[in-house]
Structure 1
């Protein structure tokens, strides 16, 4: 069985060790090749964004994650204006949310190591009526973790094909 893995390198061609450790963990947990590729790509884009802001990977804050979400929708160099009628790559909310999820999971990985902002990225709230609680729901109070930055997505229905006999 062939195991596919990915490595993220910085602008000078050096392996970003801490990201490499995270991707190795994802590989060990047998994430699909598509998931691994997406995580590597998303974290590379995150590093590019942080480099534009001149912010270190380990000193990034939740505010930077919020800015990242906006930047993914309308990429522009810091300190520059973007014309309102400018066409250009604007990612779909689902793509932005996938990238944000990659960043969140990476910082959760770092939080388990006692590094970075992982604990600041998750907000806890009490459970509410619509939350799935499972078999023992209501026996003990519990909290739900939610991520603060997430774009609203339009739910898509699966398409269908009509076949006709000719």
Structure 2
């Protein structure tokens, strides 16, 4: 199963499509792919509101995105101000997932284009934390062993 994120012009957002295809090809959990698609849809909606390009963001500007996420959804439009209450519209676990989605997205694109910074750091060495195991994952070592016999 794959997901497509549409921009304000109702066309697929190419960099997001490339990233989600990559996640699907590496057999990430379908729930992860779906969640990351929603997270990146939020991110590109914010970029569109601000007239910004993801390739040119600074870490401080990315922080503005997370502040925007903490607002209730109806108030995430230009010209609407929310008094600080100390409460976020999203749970901390959701914000952590959105950060992971953006970190993976930027890492993927920074490896393809050196002009794009890996803004949220390189999570290399991090192990998956979910319980999803791709179908037939148990056969990978058998296939590798079988190929080794024929080399």
Q: String of CA shifts for 1:72-107, please: whole Å, max 9, x gaps.
A: 11153345321456x9x8001110111111011100
Q: String of CA shifts for 1:16-67, please: whole Å, max 9, x gaps.
A: 1111111001000101111110011000100011112111122122112211
Which residue is 1:77 aligned to? 77
Matches within 5 A, 1:1-166: 4-75=1-72, 76-84=76-84, 90-113=89-112, 114-118=114-118, 120-122=119-121
Provide the rounded CA distance (Å) in 1 between the counterparts of 2:79 and 2:121.
29
Provide the rounded CA distance (Å) in 1 between the counterparts of 2:46 and 2:31.
22
Change beyond 3 A, Cα 1:27–1:96: same
Provide the rounded CA distance (Å) in 2 between the counterparts of 1:117 and 1:100.
15
Provide the rounded CA distance (Å) in 2 between the counterparts of 1:19 and 1:104.
13
Runs (4+) of structure 1 exceeding 6 A deviation are: none
Indicate conservation of the 8 Å contact 1:62/1:117, yes or no.
Answer: no
- Give 1 or 2: higher helix fraction: 2
Between structure 1 and structure 2, the one with the greater Rg is: 1
Can you give the 5+ residue segments of structure 1 that lack an aligned partner in the other structure? 124-143, 147-166
Provide the rounded CA distance (Å) in 1 between the counterparts of 2:78 and 2:33.
29
**CA RMSD after TM alignment:** 2.6
Higher relative contact order (CA 8 A, sep 6+): 2
Can you give the 5+ residue segments of structure 2 that lack an aligned partner in the other structure? 127-151
Paired residues, number = 121
TM-score (norm 1): 0.64
- Give 1 or 2: higher strand fraction: 1
